[in-house]
Amino acid sequence: MRSLSGVLISKGKQKLAKTVGEWLEKFETDHWNHVQKSPTKLNSWHKDYELKFNHLPKDEPLTLELLKRVVLERTEPESRSRDGYGMAFRLLAEFAELPGEGLKEFEGVYSGGNPVNPRNLPSEVKILETGKLFKGGWQWLYAAMAVYGLRPHEALLALPDRLQEDPPLLEIPNATKTGYRIAFPISADAWDFDVQSYELPPIQIEGRNNATLVQDGGS
């Protein structure tokens, strides 16, 4: 057994799995034997592993050649995606103790993206006018994202207990991407969002991780 990024991964050679699907099942079982299934960890599993493993042919034998082929087919050189695929597939290969040089050549190649140009951001008036297109809980969700600078899943999970204070505050729970914090409203002269009239849209929240919470409208 060895430690990889703080997570214990058991050696898998003694297990007689052969196909990709069998190895993925064993890898996931081993992962959750050492990692608590919190919403944050489930979100990380989905983003860092599951989305990438979904592109592997489950019925084929697991080989380094197969893993390298999928990385090259699905990613661009020096991209964040290639770096992520390289890390996930390398850990899978090491778990299965595949012979060869491994997949480290695909990691550490991301050179960064283009800087954000703040002039591309919409104006306060545009943000307000767009908010009027939404109704009910959808309008509150939009307002919470605009006024407090929240991610969609943070707005859906925010605790409204302190909205009646001056200024109205939202508590962001620990299960979100950045963890627990108090969110303060942003001052904008053009806005008249009624964030104190708390109402969530009809989205299924229970049992969904942060990555999938709003991907399909929550249905």
Say whether both 140 and 52 belong to one domain.
Answer: no
The whole domain housing 190 covers 117-219
Q: Are residues 161 and 78 in the same domain?
A: no
Overall number of domains in the chain: 2
Is 111 part of a structural domain of the chain?
Answer: no
Structural domain ending residue among the three candidates 69, 86, 106: 106
Ordered DSSP codes for 5-72: TTEEE---TTS---BHHHHHHHHHHHHHHHS---HHHHHHHIIIIIHHHTTS-TTSBP-HHHHHHHHH
* 49 and 26 together in one domain: yes
Q: 142-169 burial by CB neighbour count: b if 16+ within 10 A, else e?
A: bbbbbbbebbbbbbbbbebeebeeeebb
Domain check: are 53 and 150 in the same one? no
Is there a single domain that holds both residue 121 and residue 102?
A: no
pLDDT, tens digit, 9 for 90 and up, residues 1-50: 443 443 444 444 444 568 999 999 999 999 999 988 887 788 788 888 99
55 and 150 in a single domain? The answer is: no
Which residue, of 48, 76, 106, is where some domain finishes? Answer: 106
Instruction: Judge if 66 and 153 occupy the same domain.
Output: no
Question: Is 60 exceeded by the pLDDT of residue 212?
Answer: yes
Whether 112 is covered by a domain: the verdict is no
**Mean pLDDT, rounded, of the chain:** 82
Domain-ending residue, one of 106, 137, 155 = 106
pLDDT in tens, 171-198: 998 878 777 889 999 877 778 888 999 9
Q: Tell whether 79 and 139 lie within a shared domain.
A: no
Q: Is residue 122 included in any domain, yes or no?
A: yes
- Identify residue 183 by its one-letter amino acid code: A
The encoded tokens of residue 27 equal 């890898």
Tell me, yes or no, if the pTM score tops 0.75.
no
In a domain, 136, yes or no: yes
